[in-house]
Amino acid sequence: MIYGNTKVYTVIGNPVKHSKSPNMHNAAFQSLNINACYVPLEPEGKDLKSICDLIRSGVISGSNVTIPFKESVVEFVDILTDEASMIGSVNTLYSKNGSLIGDNTDGLGFKKSLFSDLGFSPLNKSAIILGAGGAAKAVTAKLCQAELKSLVIFDIDDIKAEELLKHISNFNYKTEVKLISSSDVDVFSDKSDLIVNCTPIGMKDSDPLLVSEDIITSNHWVYDLVYTPPLTKLLFNAKKAGAKVLNGMDMLAYQGAESFSIWESVEPPYEIMKKELSNA
């Protein structure tokens, strides 16, 4: 039920009406009897700044931020957390002592799911990251922070790939990082222990294969950030080859649970949130 004093949380994106985050967060509020609701907002033009002002003043209690605003929202934030600075983007907003705080829980979501759920250990391991957008920033930050031995990045957009490499080089990570071209994707997928898809490729039936079918073996860990469909072509081939595979559903649930606990200072009902996402 919505009452006069119901707190409002939002997810800001465009388009965002397809987002499953409202299902996950509203189920969490309901299960803990918290008088709050979570709704999608699709800002245009100056709306993003206005929404940030409403969060700063407490009219909106907090928000998630998704494509395409994770980076552009940074200019309206008063304080960036260390995590958001390390990743270089914001996915969680809230107000503290009149200041708008920008945080990022994507990296923690990725880390928990990769290390705990998929059972990957970074020691002396190498990875290939496909895509260099917002999600890849969180993924590479966490892999470098965990002292992965080496990683290579490929994006069809050279500029984005170079920007990501430049961002990573601002931190003194021990991980050896380099960019590769499309012709090297199969070679490095073969050599790497971990393959991570940080592109939207795999959501549509007509999407191409990111890595040739015969490259993946049972020695690989393959993580696809895409979660609809649950088994992309990449994961289907990897599973068939006996590789250890995971889609992006756990990361989504963990990052949502982490935002929830920042806003409400309570233990998030993770299993309920994940079940709601799966059902949605």
Q: Give me the active site residues, please.
A: 70
- The distance of closest approach from Cβ of residue 182 to ligand NAP in the complex, given in angstroms and rounded to an integer, is 7
- Interface with ligand NAP (CB under 6 A), residue from 25, 83, 93, 106: 106
- The distance of closest approach from Cβ of residue 247 to ligand NAP in the complex, given in angstroms and rounded to an integer, is 8
- The partner residues of 39 in beta bridges, in order of sequence, read 10
Nearer to ligand NAP, 103 or 155 (CB): 155
Within 110-139, the residues that bind ligand NAP by CB under 6 A are: 130-136
Candidate ranges 92-100, 167-175, 198-206, 262-270; the one touching ligand NAP (CB under 6 A): 198-206
Within 243-262, the residues that bind ligand NAP by CB under 6 A are: 248, 251-252, 255
Within 153-172, the residues that bind ligand NAP by CB under 6 A are: 154-157, 160
How long, in residues, is the chain? 280
Query: Could you list the residues that contact ligand NAP (CB under 6 A)?
Result: 67, 106, 109, 130-136, 154-157, 160, 198-201, 225-227, 248, 251-252, 255
